[in-house]
Structure 1
Amino acid sequence: MDALAGLLDGPRARGAFLLRMVMAPPWSVRVEDHAPLCLMCVDRGEAWVVPDTGSPVLLRPGDLAIARGPAPYTVADAPDTPPRAVIGPGGSCHTLRGEPLATSMDLGVRTWGNAPDGPASMLIGAYQMPGEVGGRLLDALPELLWLPGDSWSCPLLPVLDEAISRDEPGQSVVLDRILDLLLIAALRAWFSRPDARAPAWYRALGDPVVGRALRLLQDDPAHPWTVASLAAASGVSRAGLARRFTELVGEPPMAYLTGWRLAIAADLLRETDATVDAVARKVGYSGAFALSAAFKRVRGISPQEHRTGSRRPVASGQGLPEPQQRSR
């Protein structure tokens, strides 16, 4: 598993929220759903993405924007159009006065908007579950990432456009996979730009020695790695690996491994009912006590406190059309 795959491994790639939004002006939607990551692709017309901080971005057909949560933002026909709808956690949708909009703006299978034939159409995919495995990557992204259509080539947008309104068995799984591939393609294009400020660990993946060591740690975090065994597997000396790894990644190999193990453990605690002891052994600790000690030392709370604090209640009230079922 490489670092990009790590972002997508787990609940982020299962049950992602996908929707086509069709609008006629004037329109403006305030997004306050706290989703960790949201992709927006314009397939017809234009749309402005207006972050609370930073400059508005105009999206045209073929352009893609990625909003990194939980910061709110606005999507509209013009930067100065006041919001007329608010999207909250869990896909809840209402007017500024709290009136529900889900039924009145339901346009069919995974389609929502104020006009069935509106001139503006966007494909939206949101990873709704916070994930610790991808934290290193998410921290490296700006709050709003923009890829103009003429700066990258991706054949997946037409595929998503064709698939998003289908209502067939297993369609949600198909859409999840398309969204994952689209995200990976976008991030590759973003980090490969001449002026990109890719994080150190991402650049290090291209190093023949450190890249191999990183993949060994990421692929098998439960293995009882030492700097010596990692160096032997990478074909270099212990001192040579320790020095080069720290220079390129920004931290020693064992510190990186600890962070990676705890990130995976945090995800497992949040998204599964596995015992703390089972989670500990899965990520390379001898048992619950060892994991708890490392968790408290690095994160300041116990695994159980993390698990309890991360369980969020489902948002009440009406929301957007369920993205994986036919809207009636």
Structure 2
Amino acid sequence: MDPLTYFLDGPRAVGAFALAMHMNAPWAIRVDDNAALTVVAVTRGHARVDDVLLTAGDVALIRGPDAYIVTDEAASAPSIEIGPGQSCTTLDGRDLRDELRHGIRRWGNAAEGETSLLVGTYERPDEAGGLVARALPRLTIVPHNRSDGTLIGLLERELATDDPAAQVVVDRLLDVLVISTIRSWVEDPSRAGEATWLTCSDPLVARALESLHAEPAAPWTVESLARHVNTSRASLAARFRTSVGEPPMAYLTRWRLTIAGDLLHSPGTTVSEVARSVGYNNAYAFSTAFKRQVGTTPSEFRLRRPALSTAS
């Protein structure tokens, strides 16, 4: 199984914040919602994401949690701010939610604007595919000639539907659109960027990644992994760093702790059980490693799980 195939285990949108945005110039929005991943598809007109111009059919993936700016073609100064929980205010704090709402999933300064965008947000890293989202550049652009117009059209249609079941369909369409967009980005021969496991093309390293992904709790070392893929320790270490951008054991640690983050949000699991399932026999060592990577202890991480947003 190639490394990209593991992306099919994420994302998993659950009650995702998703809407169709209709804007007439001038307009500009500062987004500081701390979301893990946001997808923006332009269906009409032009928009800029952090000064990168998008045209109809282009799709952008924005990796959080850092703030970014979405503006009209002229790059107007922001007058609207989106905050955590998808709060919507003027820069001085006046609530704009009712003023800019045009339906359950329609929003903007015009009912039918010269520019239309589809926006979907994954608030938590576990929803966005964890390590996958972190392997992306901060801004991933797939142009209209490589994006999936059929998926974009289906999502646009569902966002215009008031049917109570539409949210489930929107969640799944968002997942497929993100997967399709990343696949197009990875397969684009003109793509430039740092090496990550998503873009690995070395077959030996791909086999090593497959082994780490399949058995993350196994007691891997560089030596044992090299034997497993029939190469020398030095060769594996060098080729892995070149293809993935970090050493094998550093990658394994991040992979284990990413899985652990997802498991900590599973009902009924204890920290000790999560630790063992990702290869840590000592809960204290697991907690120390988790805090070093995530910034909080496993127990704190579990308690800080944010509430789900809705588009209403």
After superposition, residues 145-164 of structure 1 pair within 5 angstroms as 145-164=140-159
The reply to whether residue 60 of structure 1 matches residue 49 of structure 2 is: no
Cα deviation, 1:13-35, whole Å, max 9, x if unaligned, reads 32322111112333332222122
Aligned to 1:183: 178
Give the whole-Å Cα distance in 2 for the aligned partners of 1:81 and 1:237.
55
| 2:130 aligned partner, one-letter code | G
Residues 245 and 31 of structure 1: CA distance in aligned 2, closer, same or farther (over 3 Å)? closer
How many angstroms does 1:91 deviate by? 0.6
Give the whole-Å Cα distance in 1 for the aligned partners of 2:209 and 2:171.
27
Aligned to 1:43: 43
The reply to whether residue 125 of structure 1 matches residue 106 of structure 2 is: no
| 1:145 aligned partner, one-letter code | T
The reply to whether residue 213 of structure 1 matches residue 208 of structure 2 is: yes
* Aligned partners of 1:94 and 1:102 also within 8 Å: yes
The reply to whether residue 27 of structure 1 matches residue 27 of structure 2 is: yes
Give the whole-Å Cα distance in 2 for the aligned partners of 1:173 and 1:128.
16
Give the whole-Å Cα distance in 1 for the aligned partners of 2:279 and 2:195.
26
Aligned to 2:134: 138
Cα deviation, 1:149-203, whole Å, max 9, x if unaligned, reads 1354553111211122223354323222221221222222223232422424334
Moved more, 183-192 or 219-228: 219-228
Residues 245 and 145 of structure 1: CA distance in aligned 2, closer, same or farther (over 3 Å)? closer
Aligned length: 309
Report the secondary structure of 1:155's partner residue.
helix
Give the whole-Å Cα distance in 1 for the aligned partners of 2:14 and 2:245.
32
- The unaligned stretches of length 5 or more in structure 2 are none
Give the whole-Å Cα distance in 1 for the aligned partners of 2:220 and 2:258.
17
- What's the Cα RMSD here? 3.3
Moved more, 298-307 or 277-286: 298-307
* Aligned partners of 2:27 and 2:79 also within 8 Å: yes
How many angstroms does 1:231 deviate by? 4.7
After superposition, residues 237-256 of structure 1 pair within 5 angstroms as 237=231, 239=233, 241=236, 244-246=239-241, 248-256=243-251
Give the whole-Å Cα distance in 1 for the aligned partners of 2:2 and 2:104.
35
| 1:23 aligned partner, one-letter code | M
TM-score normalised over the length of structure 2: 0.82
| 1:303 aligned partner, one-letter code | P
Question: Which residue of the other structure, out of 97, 102, 105, is the alignment partner of 1:107?
Answer: 102
Aligned to 1:197: 193
| 2:70 aligned partner, one-letter code | V
How many angstroms does 1:65 deviate by? 2.1
Report the secondary structure of 1:107's partner residue.
coil
Give the whole-Å Cα distance in 1 for the aligned partners of 2:246 and 2:46.
44
Report the secondary structure of 2:286's partner residue.
helix
The reply to whether residue 266 of structure 1 matches residue 235 of structure 2 is: no
TM-score normalised over the length of structure 1: 0.78
Cα deviation, 1:198-234, whole Å, max 9, x if unaligned, reads 4243343x33322122022113312344556545654
* Aligned partners of 2:47 and 2:53 also within 8 Å: yes
How many angstroms does 1:110 deviate by? 1.0
Give the whole-Å Cα distance in 1 for the aligned partners of 2:32 and 2:290.
30
How many angstroms does 1:277 deviate by? 0.5
- The unaligned stretches of length 5 or more in structure 1 are none
| 2:95 aligned partner, one-letter code | P
How many angstroms does 1:3 deviate by? 5.2
Give the whole-Å Cα distance in 1 for the aligned partners of 2:148 and 2:268.
41
* Aligned partners of 2:15 and 2:167 also within 8 Å: yes
